[in-house]
Amino acid sequence: MAKYFDVHPDNPQPRAVRQVADGVREGALIAYPTDSCYALGCRLGSREGMDRIRTIRHLDDRHHFTLVCQDFAQLGQFVRLDNDVFRALKASTPGSYTFILPATREVPRMLQHPKKKTVGVRIPDHVVAQALLAELGEPLVSSTLLLPGEEEPMTQGWEIKDRLDHVLDAVVDSGDCGTEPTTVVDFSGGRPEIVRRGAGDTSRFE
């Protein structure tokens, strides 16, 4: 049975945030809100957590997870950036974007694209997600909470608790969050390539 955390959207209760972060450190799989929509998250390097996400979403081994980072300094530990890409990302974060970039050695091999050695990263513009990442001190390995056969991600914490109670360890509910997945931009080839159009404005990359 998943623990349910009712967290204030503007002033997250430190005790609740700390309990969720402690759970993640101990291997918990959580559902948490972001500025684009709800996401599933687990600890960096948790193969079991990634396998559980794949099971819930009916994904195969080729699915690419995203490293959700607290800030640009943390993001920079996990991807390589030249000056042009640095400026483009700096102007777009935090926000509803996922960027695909060459991975550094800090990224576990199981998170990298097997041939391109890339990884997806993002910095959410969401108070509760930011509070959780700050408490955790490292990125969350994440995937959009989009269930098999459904066209839109789940957006209500109580519904997630009701439907996924048996497969999650915790649900963080802070009220309404976004309803559209992130815009995905691939910078691994040097120039921006829009892989998916979502919540983030694509005009700056076109």
Residue 140 to residue 29: CA distance in whole angstroms: 10
**Residue 128 belongs to some domain of the structure:** yes
Quote the pLDDT of residue 203. Answer: 92
How many other CB atoms are there within 10 angstroms of residue 124's CB atom? 29
**Residue 11 belongs to some domain of the structure:** yes
Is this model's pTM higher than 0.85 or not? yes
**Residue 141 belongs to some domain of the structure:** yes
Q: What percentage of the chain reaches a pLDDT higher than 70?
A: 100
Element of type H or E holding 161: helix 157-164
Q: Which residue has the tokens 């497969």?
A: 167
Number of domains the chain contains:
1
**Residue 202 belongs to some domain of the structure:** no
**CA 143, 149, 150: angle at the middle one, nearest 5?**
70
b (16+ CB within 10 A) / e for 140-173:
bbbbbbbeeeeeebbbebeebbeebeeebbbbbb
**Residue 129's CATH number:** 3.90.870.10
**Residue 25 belongs to some domain of the structure:** yes
Quote the pLDDT of residue 113. Answer: 87
| Positions in the chain short of pLDDT 70 | none
Instruction: Answer whether 124's CB lies under 8 Å from 35's CB.
Output: yes
Instruction: Answer whether 202's CB lies under 8 Å from 183's CB.
Output: yes
Quickly list H helices, 7-156.
14-25, 47-57, 72-75, 83-90, 127-136
**Residue 206 belongs to some domain of the structure:** no
* 3-class DSSP string for 12-29: CCHHHHHHHHHHHHCCCC
Range of the structural domain that residue 126 is part of: 3-196
| 114-150: pLDDT as tens digits | 888 999 999 999 999 999 999 999 999 999 999 999 9
**Residue 49 belongs to some domain of the structure:** yes
